[in-house]
Structure 1
Amino acid sequence: MNFDIKRTGRAVLHVTDLEKSKEFYESLGLIETESDDENVFYRAIEDHNHHCLWLRKMPEAAVEVISYRVDSEGDLDRLADFFETEGTEVIWMEKGMQPAIGRTLRVQDVSGIPCEYYCEMDKVERMLQRFDVHVGAKVQRIDHFNCAVPDVQKAYDYYIDKLGFACSEYTTTKGSDEVWAAWLHRKPGVHDTAFMNSIGPRLHHIGFWLKDPMSLIDGCDYLAAKGLAPTIERGPGRHGLSNAFFLYLRDPDGHRIELYNGDYYTGDSDFDPVEWDLDDPQRQTFWGHEAPDSWFEEASTFLNVYTGEKVETEQPKLDKRKPNTII
């Protein structure tokens, strides 16, 4: 491929109650850049661009698009040529059609996920040393997306072979070569996107990076003090897969957010992906405790980039949807 996708960039979420959503996201430490009665734009502490999360007030909660940043405007043109050669319809959104961002292209990917690619975004003050506004978990930056898809192998092959992603870790079922989940990256970390076997396509979660494990604890304490402890779905804990510390939360509309710290460098050319067995109890949580059923069964609805309608979902190709874990 002759284009350069750099990293996870931003997400656009539809929410039904902007004030409740603001209370939740600001309690995580995200910083409001701009807002009106219908929209809120958030950035994280490290961000020098306008936003990494755009909340749009709508009658129904949904995921409008997940976005990746590319290196140059030329990369956008080359991506468009690639998608059109593949027979994928490209939707161009010219500069000025969306707040604070340059031209973007949107496509429905091979799994039906609404994806966007962009290069340019307005610059703003970086808040890294504005310690007076660091609260909650002190979110540093957006890190990754995790998507539930009906055919993980199909998504894996497309992102590896066609879009130039690399695999850091993957999950198989005992006695089989079938991939149950995969963690893929463009930046030299564990992942920019991940795919897991489930009813899909749906967005499982958006992951945000924290500066250290203690920020997870600070985040829990701050949420509890604000009366938002019920938003905690899972954790804190340490993943076996990725080695990262985690905390999973649900926003007022059920969109799942992961607070995340402590994965590792994957940029060497001779890096070998790590394989996990689905039923290994240390895979999902290194300390051995199980994830709740909601973590496997519930996810956010995607919207079609061409029609704006909900993307139809399919049953997963692999029958097994969650591990058999005996503690």
Structure 2
Amino acid sequence: MPVTRPVLSPPFNVVRVSHVDFTVTDLEASRAFYVDCLGLIVTDEAADKVYLRAIEERNHHSLILRRAEAPGVRAAGFKVASEDDLDRAAFWFDSQGLRAEFVERDHQGRTLRAIDPVGMPIEFYFRMESVPSMLQKYSAYRGARIQRIDHVNCFTPDVQASHDFYRDIGFRVTEYTETEDPDPKLWAIWMHRKGNVHDLAFTNGRGPRLHHIGMWTATPMDILHICDVLATSGYLKSMERGPGRHGISNAFFLYLRDPDGHRLELFTSDYLTADPDHEPIRWTLRDPQRQTLWGHPAPKSWFEEGSFFDGTEVLEPVLEAQPIVAR
């Protein structure tokens, strides 16, 4: 069985996914999409970058938009539990022969940048500048009324290798998809640290590439409301998939593409997974309810297109397997 027992005493303590650092070609257009339409809050901005957060978030940012010549992703960021965990992480990466170094990041304390075994850039930090939560400032609720970052989902050329690496640093499996072969292989995996369905997910494909960043809304009505907003504010074509409900995670969802093609999922209605003996749910690749409990099937673009990590080589997947694709 390719899914193995979790490591409950990992070498360092990751708390949750924290932020994603995007490069965009038209900063003004991206700002209009994320702020004026979707309702994210600007914490800080300059001529070449904008720092955004959602309503309940108390850290300085969960999404960075940086002006660049080409769209891309600089890194996915994770918060750890203490400064000591950063030192433990640096020691662990070195012991595994994996590249890691401390770097300077605006509005953050010490930040450890590392490269995982399939080449994905990831960053860990403990301290970030604090900002007031807007949770009870209801006049700030705009657009999709997004509450917080929830997860990142990535294409990986080797789902098993990604599972093994993130299991070793304490991520626990909640759901997974296998092929139906006599010797089944992992096709996708959902893993968490914070006690819901996922902080991090991996899907088989050309990678590493970012499939999407998931942002949590309080209710399905928030997602239905933003559909009306998108349809009447010039962003109808940004709606790639949904609304609908996943079988995996039970999520009520809507997938959007920003002006540079970066994919965003608006997401709610998943479930608690905090118990350390939580048993993961197995899905087969050909189960039609796996990706869509109800709603239109995922389009071909959803399986093939993603955002490139800056300076990262993209590899072909080791597994040849085909999911159900909308015609």
1:317 matched residue in structure 2: 318
**Further displaced range: 122-131 or 245-254:** 122-131
**Could you tell me which residue of structure 1 aligns to residue 61 of structure 2?**
51
In structure 2, the residue corresponding to 1:237 is in which secondary structure?
A: strand
Q: How does 1:167-206 map to 2 (within 5 A)?
A: 167-175=173-181, 176-206=183-213
**18, 42, 49: which is aligned to 2:27?**
18
Gaps of 5+ in 2: 1-9
**1: CA distance, partners of 2:152 / 2:60:** 19
Residue 219 of structure 2 aligns to which amino acid in structure 1? Answer: D
Unaligned 5+ runs, structure 1: 304-309
Distance 1:157 1:278 in 2: 20
Alpha-carbon distance between aligned partners in 1 of 2:128 and 2:276, rounded to the nearest angstrom:
31
Q: How far 1:85 moved relative to its partner?
A: 0.5
* Corresponding position of 1:164: 170
Aligned length: 316
How far apart are the structure 2 equivalents of 1:133 and 1:224? 21
In 1, distance between residues paired with 2:177 and 2:323?
12
Distance in 1 of aligned mates of 2:71 and 2:326: 32
Aligned to 1:307: none
Counterpart residue type for residue 52 of structure 2: Y
SS of residue in 2 equivalent to 1:99: coil
One-letter code of the match for 1:37? A
Residues 1:219 and 2:226 aligned together: yes
Q: Could you say what secondary structure the match of 1:148 adopts?
A: strand
User: SS of the residue aligned with 1:311?
Assistant: coil
In 1, the alpha carbon distance for the partners of 2:146 and 2:154 equals 21
| Percent pairwise identity | 49
SS at 1:12 equivalent: strand
1:279 partner SS: coil
Q: TM-score, normalised by structure 2?
A: 0.94
Aligned twin of 2:275:
268
1:325 Cα deviation from its structure 2 partner: 7.4
Is 1:36 aligned to residue 46 of structure 2? yes
Does the CA contact (< 8 Å) of 1:296 and 1:321 recur in 2? no
What is the RMSD computed on CA atoms of the aligned residues? 1.3
Match of 1:88 in 2: 98
Deviation at 1:324, TM superposition (A): 6.2
SS class of match (2:229): helix
Cα-to-partner distance string for 1:42-84 (whole Å, 9 max, x where unaligned): 0100111111111110111110000010010000000000000
Letter in 1 for 2:162: A
Match of 1:210 among 199, 208, 217: 217
TM-score by length of 1: 0.94
Report if the CA contact (8 A) 2:191-2:198 is conserved.
Answer: yes
> Contact between 1:67 and 1:115, CA under 8 Å: does it hold in 2?
yes
2:239 aligned residue: 232
- Superposition map of 1:238-277 within 5 A: 238-277=245-284
Contact in 2 for aligned 1:280/1:325 (Cα 8 Å): no
Question: Any idea what the Cα deviations from partners look like across 1:259-292, whole Å, max 9, x if unmatched?
Answer: 0001101111221100001111111010163100
Deviations 1:25-50 (A, max 9, x none): 11112100111110100010011111
Offset at residue 183 of structure 1 (A): 0.2
Q: Residue type of the partner of 1:89? A: R
Tell which deviates more after alignment, 136-145 or 123-132: 123-132
Question: 1:172 corresponds to which letter in structure 2?
Answer: E
CA contact (8 A) 1:232 1:247 kept: yes
In the other structure, the counterpart of 1:105 is: 112
1:135 to 119, 138, 142: 142
Could you say what secondary structure the match of 1:140 adopts? strand
Q: Does residue 1:71 correspond to 2:81, yes or no?
A: yes
CA–CA separation in structure 1 for the residues paired with 2:113 and 2:60 = 20
